[in-house]
Structure 1
Amino acid sequence: MSAESTENALSDEIIDDQDEASTDTDDNPKGSAASRLEEEGDVAADYLEELLDIADIDGDIDIEVRNGRTYISIVTEDETDSLDSLVGEDGEVLEALQELTRLSVLSATENRSRLVLDINGYRQERAGHLQKIAEDAAAKVKETGEAVALEPMSAYERKIVHDAVADLGLVSESEGEGAGRHIVVSAD
């Protein structure tokens, strides 16, 4: 049995144990929520594994549940850019894959998912870049007293910037709609 098969079997046992525990006590919603998130992770990992197989791309899938969300990472030890095509320019392909994965989870579980997909650490690298964007905008607002409008970004990226701006003691609001939704940073 491969390490991945063993991990999946152990994960299935954990989910089964949590399902039994949550049915034993109806007042334990936390156990059922954890079980639901683990199920999301398993469904998403199966979907992504099949996609990687079809595309003949090597990659390892890691599942982590934290802060009420399922985080799926696809990583590779290979230094070639085989996974870069799954990220795309400015993460566009990654965002599309994340949405398709969420739809797969919805189809299998009948529950909407807020899972986050990362490929080769793109989101972590992007978070550092977004932190810098927030710091630069905050510095400009403090220097000029004028509000600063940022480029449009995804909801996930806006959340990172909102948190960074708040940590810097300023205010941020999302404005616009659809693909044009962006953040405006101000002093009040």
Structure 2
Amino acid sequence: MTEGTISAVDTEAEAEAEAGPGAEGAVARLEQEGDIAADYLEGLLDIADLDGDIDMDVEGDRALVSIVGEGSDRSLQRLVGHDGEVLEALQELTRLAVHRETGERSRLMLDIAGFRARKRSELAALGAEAAERVKSSGEQEKLRPMTPFERKVVHDAVAAAGLRSESEGEEPERCVVVLPR
């Protein structure tokens, strides 16, 4: 290559240097969060003498970690608790374990025995149905109080239906209000 000629490699390296850590860096960081969370949860399962496999994935800007049982193993339901209360607590503990290792706040999402996946599906349907009612009536609709996770899923479903929504109130009574156009 002669002096003054720029190669594609040089251009890519300069672009990465200007843009900072790219998508690969973000994915690697989220994969590291998933690995730390998996180690923490493995230890928890050992202490509780529970069987389960841990699956990790990255979706958008967060690591997803799931504990799945074999067959109809219902012992993991104890880690979900009533309406996901134990699951929420375990998610926070897992996020703290990740924070301790990385020094950075984690937005990791934990699912156990498919509870959160089922809940996501139910909430998406709830949001879509509320959006249809609001479209028909032209009146806003206030939904029941929800956790931040639940509200996020409903907001996404309402937006997908072409309407706007807002959260109002104070925790733990914070709820979604679906607004007409």
Question: Structure 2 matches for 1:17-96, cutoff 5 A?
Answer: 26=17, 29-30=21-22, 31-96=24-89
- CA distance in 1 between counterparts of 2:169 and 2:21 reads 36
**SS of 2:144 mapped into structure 1:** coil
Percent identity between the aligned chains? 55
Between structure 1 and structure 2, the one with the greater Rg is 2
User: Aligned partners of 1:133 and 1:32: how far apart in 2?
Assistant: 36
Of the structure 1 ranges 34-43 and 109-118, higher mean CA displacement relative to structure 2 is found in 34-43
Structure 1 residue aligned with 2:4: none
From 147, 162, 167, the counterpart of 1:169: 162
Helix, strand or coil for the counterpart of 2:67?
Answer: strand
Shift of the alpha carbon at 1:77?
1.3
Say how many residue pairs are matched.
Answer: 165
User: Normalized per residue, which structure has more helix?
Assistant: 1
Residue 134 of structure 1 corresponds to which residue in structure 2?
Answer: 127
SS at match of 1:118: strand
Distance verdict in 2 for CA 1:35–1:142, change over 3 Å? closer
CA distance in 2, matches of 1:66, 1:137: 26
Q: TM-score, length-normalised on structure 1?
A: 0.81
**Two-structure CA RMSD over aligned residues (Å):** 1.7
* Structure 2 partner of 1:147: 140
- 1:13-42 alpha-carbon deviations (Å, 9 max, x no partner): xxxxxxxxxxxx755502332222121111
Structure-2 separation of matches of 1:41 and 1:127: 20
What is the TM-score normalised by the length of structure 2? 0.84
Write the distance in 2 (CA, Å) between the matches of 1:83 and 1:120: 6
Greater mean alpha carbon deviation, residues 102-111 or residues 77-86: 77-86
